[in-house]
Amino acid sequence: MRWVLVVGVGVAPVLVACRPAAPETADAEASESAATGDTGAAGSSGEDVPRVECQSPSDCPEPNRPVCALETGTCVECTPAALTACSPGAVCLLDTCSSCSDAPEPDAACESAAISTNEPTPICDPTSGQCVQCTEAIPSSCGPDGVCDPTSGRCVQCTQTDATPCRGATPICALDTQTCQPCRVHAECMERIGAGCNLATGRCLPGPDAAPNAVVHVRQTALPSGVLPDGSPERPFYYMFAALQAAPSDATIILHEGDDGAIDLSDSALIQGTRAIAILAAAGERPTWNSALAPPLLVDPGARAFVRGLRIVGGTVGARVHGDPDAPHTTALYIDDTEILDYQQHGIEASAGGAVFLRNAIIGSHAGDASVRLSDSSAWLTYTTLVSPVTPLSCTNARVGSIRNSIVLSPSAQLDCPPLDVLTTVTGQTSLSEQGWFRDWEHSDFHLGEYAPPILQQTPAWWADATLPDPSLDIDGDPRPSPRGVDYVGADVR
């Protein structure tokens, strides 16, 4: 406030108090504050503006408050991410080192503290109020979705000895990461529950304890008089159709060698509806499935079939997949470690939106037409050998797919299937019976022969860890080179 002397003519002098006018702009207001020394410590509402105490840990020298809480700009005893001032086994609650028993979720608080301190103490001990290592002696110490790793003392999803939390869509324990993942080969589910893998979904098919006849056995051998087959290993079914009739919608059929090493079926195995059926060779066996005329295996719209470890011989067509054009790839045939031989027309025939997946497969015949015939369908071939006297792969309006790390040979026709990507694959025209490519051409043994050309190993086959991973073994169970090593193309490692 200022005092001003006002003097007028004929008027006595008057001393008037004048108040400064309010600044008209923000700049004027700032100038006024600077002139008066006002630092703005109080706002127009009268509330105090928080004082910033720290911006980094170096701004907090006090031993009992060594951590800078950046959210508030204050030095505190701890934060959930920094517990250096806390004693071992403590957690941080409200910027204070505390007992885990005081936390709303004690185990969650210990798990957070374990991550921050890199200590294997993810469990709250209610007796001591401290975070401790998990223990196998207390199964619930890691909750319903985890198990205790006794080596590290940490809670993980699964271990080599305990994969209990692995179920449903992730039934297999990946030991390198100790996490649950989908199944990708049949051996994983066979080891886990004694059933095959639904390779389309990554779920294990039902095990023998899940449903009656969920796993049934077929063997071409006569039972003692008066003994009826029930699908068990001791009383196997004699025919495939009996096994399919007895099994539920999703099931595994274990095929055994017969008395003479062959399964001779005069009828076909027809998989219909939305069934998912795995037909797998018994461990250590390689049964032969013979059929004189009809295709041994037929997959109708909506169904999925999974085959491993068989020799399918004869028939007009080795396997036929007829899909639904309006729902492509929902009808599918997955073949692993299997030979389809001596068919009269085609090794595999897929149509109307069907899908074929081949890994470690040999498909060849001295007669017939195409090894694989695609009509408005798709195919993915990996480490597969196709041999045909006419054409190895016939495509009519093929949809999508790929051929990788494979052998595709014919004496008269080149590979011509534009929608399919062809990668690191040996293709061409050659006189198959004269070149010594195969072990015994005359008897349909299309394993690599002694004089197979070096290009079959020099082609730089490469591994891909996809949904269906590349096989680590060849069709006979021989190991392939380590990942990213030089490998043989085709199904066989010589």
Q: 166 — alpha (psi -120 to 50), left (phi > 0) or beta?
A: beta
The per-residue pLDDT for range 100-110, each reduced to its tens digit, is: 999 999 988 99
CB 186 within 8 A of CB 334: no
Which pTM value belongs to this model? 0.78
pLDDT of 155 strictly over 70: yes
The per-residue pLDDT for range 399-412, each reduced to its tens digit, is: 999 999 899 988 87
pLDDT at res. 33: 43
Residue 378, phi then psi, degrees to nearest 5: -130, 155
Residue 219, phi then psi, degrees to nearest 5: -150, 130
6 confidence band (pLDDT: 50, 70, 90): very low
pLDDT at res. 185: 95
pLDDT at res. 415: 82
CB 73 within 8 A of CB 54: yes
CB 82 within 8 A of CB 68: no
Which has more confidence, 479 or 194?
194
pLDDT at res. 50: 67
Q: Using CA atoms, how far apart are residues 423 and 467, in angstroms rounded to an integer? A: 18
CA 79 vs CA 82, 105, 117: distances in Å: 5, 17, 12
Q: Using CA atoms, how far apart are residues 402 and 490, in angstroms rounded to an integer? A: 14
The per-residue pLDDT for range 184-216, each reduced to its tens digit, is: 999 999 999 999 999 999 999 999 999 999 999
143 confidence band (pLDDT: 50, 70, 90): confident
Q: Using CA atoms, how far apart are residues 457 and 41, in angstroms rounded to an integer? A: 80
State the SS3 of the chain: CEEEEEEECCEEEEEEEECCCCCCCHHHHHHHHHHHCCCCCECCCCCECCCCCCCCHHHCCCCCCCEEECCCCEEECCECCECCCCCCCCEEECCEEECHHHCCCHHHHHHHHHHHHCCCCCEEECCCCEEECCCCCCHHHHCCCCEEECCCCEEECCCCCCCCCCECCECEEECCCCEEECCCCHHHHHHHHCCCEECCCCEECCCCCCCCCCEEEECCCCCCCCCCCCCCCCCCECCHHHHHHHCCCEEEEEECCCCCCEEECCCCEEECCCCEEEEEECCCCCCEEEECCCCCEEECCCCEEEEECCEEEECCEEEEEECCCCCCCCCEEEEEEEEEECCCCEEEEEECCCEEEEEEEEEECCCCCEEEEEECCEEEEECCEEECCCEEEEEECCCCEEEECCEEEECCCCCCCCCCEEECCEEEECCCCCCCCEEEHHHCEEEECCCCCCHHHHCCCCCCCCCCCCCCECCCCCECCCCCCCCCCCCCCC
Q: What contacts 30, CB < 8 A, 6 or more positions away?
A: none
List residues bridging with 244 in a β-sheet.
Answer: none
Q: CB count, 10 Å around CB of 265?
A: 21
Strands 346-351 and 370-375, by their bridges, are: parallel
The per-residue pLDDT for range 354-405, each reduced to its tens digit, is: 999 999 999 999 888 899 999 999 999 999 999 998 889 999 999 999 999 8
Which has more confidence, 16 or 399?
399
pLDDT at res. 42: 43
pLDDT of 34 strictly over 60: no
483 confidence band (pLDDT: 50, 70, 90): low
pLDDT at res. 261: 67
Which has more confidence, 22 or 418?
418
pLDDT at res. 467: 61
pLDDT at res. 259: 76
pLDDT at res. 243: 96
Strands 74-76 and 67-69, by their bridges, are: antiparallel
CB 292 within 8 A of CB 342: no
Percentage above 90 pLDDT, the chain: 54
Which has more confidence, 43 or 268?
268
Report the range of poorest mean pLDDT among 39-43, 61-65, 369-373: 39-43
Report the range of poorest mean pLDDT among 106-115, 228-237, 295-304: 106-115
